[in-house]
Structure 1
Amino acid sequence: MYPFWKPIVKPLLMAADPKTLIEIGSEAGKNTINLLEYCRERNATLQAIDPSPRFDVDAWEREHVGRLTVHRGLSLEVLPRLAPADCVCVDGDHNWYTVREELRLIDERSVGAGAPLPLILLHDIGWPYARRDLYYDPATIPADYRQPYQRKGIMPGVSELMERGGHNATLCNATREGGRQNGVLTAVEDYLRESPLPRELILIPGFSGLGILFDRSRFASNSAFCALIRDLTPSPLIARYIEMLERSRIALMIRSPARGLVPAR
């Protein structure tokens, strides 16, 4: 998610002014650092969730005492223990089951506490994982919700996995693209379809895609947020053009295996 920080995510946060944030999927902390920068500026707090964070958790918590709490665990185990937040950044396990359950838990915790839906930012809502599941640990996904998968690469415009090379060839990718219960965007669309309350989703193409999910009524009186959302909503023509540029970027990366792509957090 960090490629979106300066042009999109930080301006959104500055307009929405969340005081409590949750980050799902910290990995090496590239975006965690950005969120902590925001927390320092706006006197906010961050709860970070990752089963295996690749930074010195104790050192970071000491440096950001009172601002940062890191939870080592799976999002679906940790979220039920956390209080509702004003903003949640979802960038963990990129598959239908996990994302749909994360959204359900976030929604249930908010409604149960009488709080509005938080501003939710979702990474990898575009290609390659919009319509294809990725499993960092397939054993954590119930069999009924787990697509057939292999450790093989993927290619834009090709449903089947590649026999050699391709994008993210060392990861567990669903063997086919599309269909029911497959992919991050599919999970978000299913969540929206099942929600009894009106929610709005803005899709930002490029860098694997960013989704902005929110309850417009929560921000109806926030003119700065509404203006920013209006400016961020791309026309279909511009969205298609950016997707073309994105696929060209990915094709160039695939041709350079030493610079292999992984989901950018």
Structure 2
Amino acid sequence: MSNLLIHSMSEFSDLILGSMHAAGTRSIVEVGAEFGGMSHQLAAYAEATGGSLTSIDPAPKAGFAEWAAGNVHVTHVADTSHRAMPGMTDVDAWVIDGDHNYYTVLGELRIADELSRRDGKPLLAFLHDVSWPCARRDMYYAPETLPPEWVHPHSWDGGVKLEDGGIHAGRGMRGMGQFAWAEKAGGPRNGVLTAVEDFLEEVRSDARPLAWVHVPAVLGLGVIFDASAPWAADVAALLHPWHDNQLVATLELNRLRNYLTVIEWQDREASRIGGRAAA
């Protein structure tokens, strides 16, 4: 079922790589490699520009570590983002697509911003999953590794639907034991977009000019960049037509509704024959 849903950050490669080219990016840090789809494109960009890619992922899919070890432009760091990121230096761009929960994302943005200011680099960060379903709801791969006070009550079996913010046992979009959803959407300290908004509010209090772009497609691409950077106007010109684009958002909603309907049909059929559907 999952192959019916376009979900990779690599779908935004034209916007991401185009922005990097406009910004003169050379040193890239990626958080969350998983299958390596975006990693391959970032590595190709690094090779073409004489740059480097550092990919942080404690447990990528099979074959990724071997691929990274065989690519002179790629370094794989098998650790969590909060432990590995502080050791990075002179980073031109951050690509954040790791754990999709408030605590992790807010920490990643704070670290990226602190390092950018320390090294005199304008902040340029790309984030995935800033739209539904992770915008206002935490998703956990390993909640036991997070501080308990930051973890919402969650379900490994429950699924999520567009029409409400609750949880549905054995129904809706779900992780089938691979990840857990917070049982309720919304409220403080919940979701990727909430983390982004709270980070931007912190930055505004320091009167630093960070720009924000939200592309409402393929689960949502977010871009944060320094509006005072010499390349900011070029990046803004590339991304502005996609920011909060209503047509794109409508198409994404339609796609998600169709996908969730297929899951519902599959669940209904599995229930009829006594099996269990896979979302």
Q: TM-score, normalised by structure 2?
A: 0.85
Match of 1:228? Answer: 238
Match of 1:27? Answer: 34
Match of 1:218? Answer: 229
What is the identity, as a one-letter code, of the residue corresponding to 2:217? G
Q: 1:192 aligns with which of 200, 203, 209?
A: 200
Work out the percentage of aligned pairs sharing the same amino acid.
Answer: 33
Kept in 2: contact 1:29–1:55 (CA 8 A): no
Q: CA 1:60–1:190 in 2, change beyond 3 Å: closer, same or farther?
A: same
What is the identity, as a one-letter code, of the residue corresponding to 1:35? L
Once the 2 structures are TM-superposed, how far is the Cα of residue 59 of structure 1 from its aligned partner? 3.1
Once the 2 structures are TM-superposed, how far is the Cα of residue 205 of structure 1 from its aligned partner? 0.8
Kept in 2: contact 1:160–1:177 (CA 8 A): yes
Q: 1:126 aligns with which of 131, 149, 152?
A: 131
Query: What number of residue pairs does the alignment pair up?
Result: 255
Does residue 42 (structure 1) correspond to residue 49 (structure 2)? The answer is yes
Kept in 1: contact 2:200–2:210 (CA 8 A): yes
Once the 2 structures are TM-superposed, how far is the Cα of residue 42 of structure 1 from its aligned partner? 1.4
Match of 1:254? Answer: 263
> In structure 1, what is the Cα distance between the partners aligned to 2:134 and 2:262?
17
In the alignment, structure 1 segments of 5+ residues that lack a partner are 261-265
Once the 2 structures are TM-superposed, how far is the Cα of residue 210 of structure 1 from its aligned partner? 0.4
**Over aligned residue pairs, what C-alpha RMSD do you find?**
1.9
Q: Secondary structure at the match of 1:83?
A: coil
Kept in 1: contact 2:166–2:184 (CA 8 A): yes
- Deviating above 4 A after TM superposition, structure 1's stretches of 4 or more consecutive aligned residues are 256-259
Between structure 1 and structure 2, the one with the greater Rg is 2
> In structure 2, what is the Cα distance between the partners aligned to 1:150 and 1:58?
30
| 1:103-142 correspondence to structure 2 within 5 Å | 103-117=109-123, 119-142=124-147
Larger mean CA deviation between 104-113 and 184-193 belongs to 104-113
In the alignment, structure 2 segments of 5+ residues that lack a partner are 1-8, 268-276
> In structure 2, what is the Cα distance between the partners aligned to 1:217 and 1:259?
47
Q: 2:254 aligns with which of 232, 245, 251?
A: 245
Q: TM-score, normalised by structure 1?
A: 0.89
Match of 1:90? Answer: 96
1:111-148, CA deviations, whole angstroms, 9 ceiling, x for partnerless residues?
1223322x110000000000000110001111111111
Once the 2 structures are TM-superposed, how far is the Cα of residue 58 of structure 1 from its aligned partner? 5.1
Q: 1:52 aligns with which of 44, 59, 71?
A: 59
